[in-house]
Amino acid sequence: MANKYPYRLYKRGDYFHAYFSFISETGQRIQFRESTGQVEEQKANQYCLKRLGEIRQAEHQKASGELPSITIDEAFARYFEEKGQYLSLPHQRLSRLKKLKDELNVKQLHEIQEPQINQFIAKNRGTLSNSTINRYLFLLSAVITTARDEWKVRTYNLKPSKFKLKEPAENVKYLKDWSIAKTIIDRAAPHLKPIIYTALYTGLRESNILNLKWENIDLDNRTITLKVKDSTTAGGKIHTVPIIEQLAQILHNQPRINEYVFNFHGKPIRSIRSSWKNIFYKRKGKNFTKELKDPALPYTNFHTLRHTAATWILKKTGNLRITKEILGHSNINTTMKYAHVLDDEKRTALNSVFEH
In order, the DSSP letters of 144-167 are: HHHHHHTS-----S--GGGGPPP-
320 with 195, same domain: the answer is yes
| Ranges of H-type helices in the chain | 41-64, 72-82, 90-104, 114-124, 130-149, 178-186, 193-202, 206-210, 245-253, 273-280, 304-317, 320-327, 332-335, 343-354
Average pLDDT, the chain: 88
Q: What pLDDT score does 4 carry?
A: 64
* 124/5: higher pLDDT: 124
Q: Which long-range contacts (CB under 8 A, 24 or more apart) does 63-67 make?
A: 63/24, 63/25, 63/26, 66/154, 67/152, 67/153, 67/154
Residue range 151-185, pLDDT digits in tens: 888 898 888 878 888 877 667 889 999 999 999 99
Q: Domain limits at 52?
A: 7-64
Residue 352: inside a domain = no
Q: What pLDDT score does 97 carry?
A: 95
Task: Name residue 203's beta-bridge partners.
Answer: none
Residue range 207-243, pLDDT digits in tens: 999 999 999 999 999 999 998 766 566 667 899 999 9
When divided into structural domains, the chain yields a total of 3
Residue range 185-200, pLDDT digits in tens: 999 999 999 999 999 9
* 234/88: higher pLDDT: 88
Question: For residue 1, what pLDDT band results from cuts at 50, 70 and 90?
Answer: very low
For residues 177 and 341, the answer to whether their CB atoms sit within 8 Å is no
79 with 122, same domain: the answer is yes
Residue 173: inside a domain = no
77 with 221, same domain: the answer is no
86 with 211, same domain: the answer is no
Q: Is the per-residue pLDDT at 315 higher than 70? A: yes
Q: Is the per-residue pLDDT at 205 higher than 80? A: yes
Residue range 334-348, pLDDT digits in tens: 888 888 777 777 777
Could you give the C-alpha distances from 84 to 16, 140, 147, 194, 297, in angstroms and in order? Answer: 37, 11, 14, 28, 35
Q: What pLDDT score does 2 carry?
A: 44
Residue 172: inside a domain = no
pLDDT, average across residues 245-254: 96
Q: Which of 98, 128, 163 is the last residue before a domain boundary?
A: 163
Residue 168: inside a domain = no
Could you give the C-alpha distances from 114 to 20, 131, 133, in angstroms and in order? Answer: 41, 20, 15
Q: What pLDDT score does 56 carry?
A: 76
Q: What pLDDT score does 121 carry?
A: 94
Which residues 6+ apart lie within 8 Å of 129 measured at CB? none
pLDDT, average across residues 98-108: 94
Q: What pLDDT score does 95 carry?
A: 94
Percent of the chain at pLDDT > 90 equals 58
pLDDT, average across residues 26-44: 88
Q: Is the per-residue pLDDT at 128 higher than 70? A: yes
Q: Which of 44, 64, 84 is the last residue before a domain boundary?
A: 64
Q: What pLDDT score does 202 carry?
A: 96
* 211/5: higher pLDDT: 211
Could you give the C-alpha distances from 283 to 91, 183, 217, 300, in angstroms and in order? Answer: 26, 19, 36, 17
147 with 256, same domain: the answer is no
Q: What pLDDT score does 356 carry?
A: 63
Residue 60: inside a domain = yes
Question: For residue 26, what pLDDT band results from cuts at 50, 70 and 90?
Answer: confident
DSSP-derived pairing of the beta strands 281-284 and 267-268: unpaired
Most trustworthy range by pLDDT among 30-44, 52-66, 231-245, 248-262: 248-262
Q: Which of 64, 81, 109 is the last residue before a domain boundary?
A: 64
What pTM, to 2 d.p., does this model score? 0.59
